[in-house]
Amino acid sequence: MSTTITVAGPAPYDVVVGDGDLDRLPGLLGDGVSRVAVVHPAGLAAAPVLAFLGDYDVLDLPIPDGESAKTAATAAACWEALGAAGFTRSDAVVTYGGGATTDLGGFVAATWLRGVRVVHVPTTLLAMVDAAVGGKTGINTGAGKNLVGSFHEPAGVLCDLATLETLPRAELVAGLGEVVKCGFIADPAILEIVEGTDPAELTSGSAALRELVERAVRVKAGVVAADLKEAGGVGGHPGREVLNYGHTLGHAIERTEDYRIRHGEAVAIGCVYAAEVAGRSGLLVPDVVERHRTAFGRVGLPTTYAGAPFDTLLAAMRIDKKARGNLLRFVVLHDLATPAVLAGPDEGVLRAAYAAIGGHA
């Protein structure tokens, strides 16, 4: 049976989590759609979704694999194709692929005719628990990741866990980076499941992985429903920025590595770093700092990094979306599920935290 999680807000939509549920796609597209553009990586055949789009005029839009797809040139090529096919505001986009496909395809849908319907069908764990939910779309520039984008909520999200059966193990593990992050920022039960389950048993068909997916989606759904466009939270809560826990350093690492490191791996390192920053700032007790290392490390994610000098990463972090002018801002924890924003931390603390995760000056 599938589970339906509704993301509340001005334009509510459903996230369906199930196994073998691609037949739900037409229902998520809704009424009045005649043309559907299917955006997918060139290396991933779109046949599984095309099998359920027989009643539509389908435009096949293959794009490059991975982060290399998230460019203005790729978006422009998609716009030209939509124009040539005569796509109108009553038509729709379906994304079928990982997080980069979801980001790029969502951005195309957000900007074509100032917004057309989009349904995401994520095929990686990372996309299911992160990119597909929440309405953030974006492309990369030479300055950094996701610096150009738009908020554009989908009409629906279809997480068919059967699509994970052929996902390489390294990609599945990388997706767990965002899942474990959700455990630290909002739902400690996620950490208990991870710590109490043999990592080898976290497979596409396991009940444990399904519960982790559903819990992570619920965390994100709750956050974005309360703060869709990062206007800020209440009572000291960072609002939607909390989802960027670990991303300040994580995105800097991705950029420095020219996106050769997987996003979930970079986030895991970034979360351990943020915990060290919080600990060294007197905000987080040592046991919770160390739990970051053990939880991420248990599922096979990296918890150290020494691939670039700190000054290189610091320059990249200054372009982070959370920064305000020259002021760096980090999402940190005071305790499990107790996030806050630390603005303008001492640079000595940042350097010491980098050394603590294996980095060098």
The reply to whether 230 belongs to the active site is: yes
Q: Is 71 annotated as a binding residue?
A: no
Which of 140, 146, 153, 178 is the catalytic position? 178
The reply to whether 152 belongs to the active site is: no
Which of 35, 215, 262, 263 is the catalytic position? 263
Residues 189 and 223: their CA atoms lie apart, in Å, by 17
Q: Is 100 annotated as a binding residue?
A: yes
The reply to whether 114 belongs to the active site is: yes
Q: Is 102 annotated as a binding residue?
A: yes
Which of 240, 280, 292, 322 is the catalytic position? 240
Q: Is 191 annotated as a binding residue?
A: no
Which of 244, 254, 276, 322 is the catalytic position? 244
The reply to whether 120 belongs to the active site is: no
Buried b / exposed e across 62-101, counting CB within 10 Å, b at 16+?
A: bbbbbbebbbeebbeebeebbeeeebeeebbbbbbbbbbb
Q: Is 165 annotated as a binding residue?
A: yes
Q: Is 69 annotated as a binding residue?
A: yes
Q: Is 263 annotated as a binding residue?
A: yes
The reply to whether 181 belongs to the active site is: no
The reply to whether 280 belongs to the active site is: no
The reply to whether 40 belongs to the active site is: no
Q: Is 247 annotated as a binding residue?
A: yes
The reply to whether 322 belongs to the active site is: no
SS (H, E, C) the chain: CCEEEEECCCCCEEEEEECCCHHHHHHHHCCCCCEEEEEEECCCCCHHHHCCCCCCEEEEEEECCHHHHCCHHHHHHHHHHHHHHCCCCCCEEEEEECHHHHHHHHHHHHHHHHCCEEEEEECCHHHHHHHCCCCEEEEEECCEEEEEEEECCCCEEEEEHHHHCCCCHHHHHHHHHHHHHHHHHCCHHHHHHHHHCCHHHCCCCCHHHHHHHHHHHHHHHHHHHHCCCCCCCCCCCCHHHHHHCCHHHHHHHHHHCCCCCCHHHHHHHHHHHHHHHHHHCCCCCHHHHHHHHHHHHHCCCCCCCCCCCHHHHHHHHCCCCCCECCECEEEEEEECCEEEEEECCCHHHHHHHHHHCCCCC
Q: Is 103 annotated as a binding residue?
A: yes
The reply to whether 251 belongs to the active site is: yes
Which of 251, 255, 280, 329 is the catalytic position? 251
The reply to whether 321 belongs to the active site is: no
Q: Is 67 annotated as a binding residue?
A: yes
Q: Is 163 annotated as a binding residue?
A: yes
Q: Is 101 annotated as a binding residue?
A: yes
Q: Is 178 annotated as a binding residue?
A: yes
Residues 352 and 332: their CA atoms lie apart, in Å, by 16
Which of 40, 117, 136, 291 is the catalytic position? 136
Which of 247, 280, 291, 322 is the catalytic position? 247
Which of 35, 40, 218, 220 is the catalytic position? 220
Q: Is 124 annotated as a binding residue?
A: yes
Binding residues for NAD(+): 65-70, 99-103, 123-124, 136, 145, 163-166
Q: Which residues are catalytic?
A: 114, 136, 178, 220, 230, 240, 244, 247, 251, 263
User: Which residues are documented as binding site for Zn(2+)?
Assistant: 178, 247, 263
Residues tagged in the binding site annotation? 65-70, 99-103, 123-124, 136, 145, 163-166, 178, 247, 263
